[in-house]
Amino acid sequence: MKASHSDTRRFAVLLMTLFFATGLTHASSAGAIHNADRLMQPYTGNVPGASLLVIKHGKILLRRGYGMADLEHHIAAAPATDYRLASVSKQFTAAAVLLLVEDGKLKLDDSIRHWLPTLPPFADQVTLRELLSHTGGLLDYEDLIPPGTTRQLNDSDVLRMISATTRTYFSPGTAYRYSNTGYVLLGLVVEKASGMSLQDFLKQRIFAPLHMDHTLLYVHDARTVSNRAYGYSNIDGKWQLTDQDLTSATRGDGGIYASVDDLAKWDAALYDNRLLSDASRKLAFSAHAKVVGESYQADYGFGWRITGDTLWHSGESIGFRNVIVRWPKQQLTVILLSNRNAPEPYRTVLAIAAPFLDH
């Protein structure tokens, strides 16, 4: 049957609608992808690599791996490669707390000492809300590690060290200081309030519902990470394996492994109430403190930095450098996960994103 002129026209309109759904022409999209590949050149070849994802209006525009996830076994990095997220994990710990608030099992203005009574009396004045926004003032556990320590710290070690302190950096709620300590303790609170291990709570309440099937909170010798990237550092001009250090076994501050593929599902869930309520997302994405002492201008929400129209967070641990940057108004997200100590990827992601914006 021969198509009518009107049918042909409708089909053409449909194709054009699909073609322009992301706001990008073919030429501009090709140029943006070429720009991204150019910026990712340092990650290519037989070197520690990266995985990159660009999503706009829910459509994946770029999904690639570069370089190697495992130099020793010559395994290439791919979109399904799992990286240690480091501090990108904090947004998941914050979401776990917000879910428990929705459940009525805790309150943001609860004292941290209410949940962890071995903490010093001054912790009565430190609330969960303040820990979420890095305004609690508790000492950094990294600075309390005894000299000569060789065994990896766990969350119980962090709790024990903070319980032995006699001071804070400042009165709770009066200043900002980025705190891994606070997020380790928040992870312990999630366990107390839920009656589950942190890794099981995250799996049952966040990862499984979103079908993030290859994401997990890593517990040394207890969980196997599939498609795992190993971390490397450039030392004396050579890439050397630096996958773990003394603080790589703590959980709430940075223990999640995930791929860009799974993080795409997380990103999608942040636009609606399939996981978190409107009220919870508003809390997470609202400015609660002015970031100081860092190289970028930002405010801090709950597990998110806020700069202009962007929501973002970086993650750094030995051998890994990661960042997720979201432009919610334009429904653009760029995620770069890497298994190397350099370069720091935030500026690279901003440069990758630029051609995808405002089209």
pLDDT at 225: 85
Residue 9 lies in a domain: no
Range of the domain at 172: 24-71+82-356
DSSP character at residue 203 = I
| Total count of domains within the chain | 1
| 89 catalytic residue (yes or no) | no
pLDDT at 8: 42
Long-range contacts of 201-210 (CB under 8 A, 24+ apart): 201/96, 202/92, 202/96, 202/256, 205/96, 205/99, 206/92, 206/95, 206/96, 206/99, 206/275, 207/262, 209/274, 209/275, 210/265, 210/266, 210/269, 210/274, 210/275
Residue 214 lies in a domain: yes
Q: What is the pTM of this model?
A: 0.92
Mean pLDDT by 10 residues, the chain (359 residues): 48 40 65 95 98 97 98 97 97 98 98 98 98 98 91 94 97 97 98 97 98 91 81 96 87 96 98 98 98 94 98 97 98 98 96 89
pLDDT at 248: 83
pLDDT at 315: 97
- Alpha carbons 90 and 184: distance in angstroms, whole number: 9
Residue 269 lies in a domain: yes
User: In the beta sheet, which residues pair with residue 340?
Assistant: 232
Catalytic residue among 29, 51, 87, 194: 87
pLDDT at 16: 41
Is the alpha carbon torsion for 285, 287, 289, 290 positive or negative? positive
CATH of the domain at 317: 3.40.710.10
Residue 268 lies in a domain: yes
Residue 14 lies in a domain: no
Which tokens go with 69?
């996830």
pLDDT at 222: 58
Residue 235 lies in a domain: yes
pLDDT at 15: 35
pLDDT at 27: 58
Residue 278 lies in a domain: yes
Residue 277 lies in a domain: yes
